[in-house]
Amino acid sequence: MVTANGLLQMAVFFAQLLLMRALTVDPLYLLKPPKLILQILKSKFLARTPREVDEAYAPGPMDYGKFVPQVLLSYIIALTYAPTNPVVMLPCAMIYFAMAYIIWKYQVMYVLCRGLLCPTLTPCTAGTYTTKSTSPVAGFGQSLRHAWSSAS
């Protein structure tokens, strides 16, 4: 059984987790250290032609299996703990999702597609993240309005 104090402590823990992920883990995703080391080694020692050098530096596919579940887990954590401790959780969640948006947009538009889908993809990505970030706030506001009207 979790007490109210334990729930608040867990909210602070998850807020720190979101900040840590936003400021360290996700920016490292842009660098991709293991892939960077392999690219350098391939281009220096294994590539003999200019085409092989270009293939060694090709970005490769985006790892949706790692990035999307982490964003969804962070969304569920923020959605769960924001009502109990909104002063701490909401700014941390906003920072995390802003960083995730910047990283996701940069990876998709400039690294993977090399700017080919910019006019088509930008409104879709912006609309998705805007809807995702405002829907819990709207739902929470609706529940507060319903609670206030039923209490009167």
Residue 48: the pLDDT is 85
Distance between CA 151 and CA 145 in Å, rounded? 10
Is a pLDDT exceeding 90 seen at residue 53?
Answer: no
Residue 42: the pLDDT is 85
Q: Running DSSP on this structure, what letter comes out for residue 115?
A: T
Q: Count CB-CB contacts under 10 A for residue 109.
A: 17
Q: Give Cα separations from 89 to 48, 131, 146 (angstroms).
A: 52, 19, 23
What is the rounded average pLDDT of the residues 131-149?
55
pLDDT tens-digit map of 102-136: 888 887 777 766 655 555 555 555 555 555 555 55
> Among 70, 96, 92, which residue's Cα sits nearest to residue 81?
92
Tally of CA atoms within 13 A in the half-sphere of 105 that contains its CB: 18
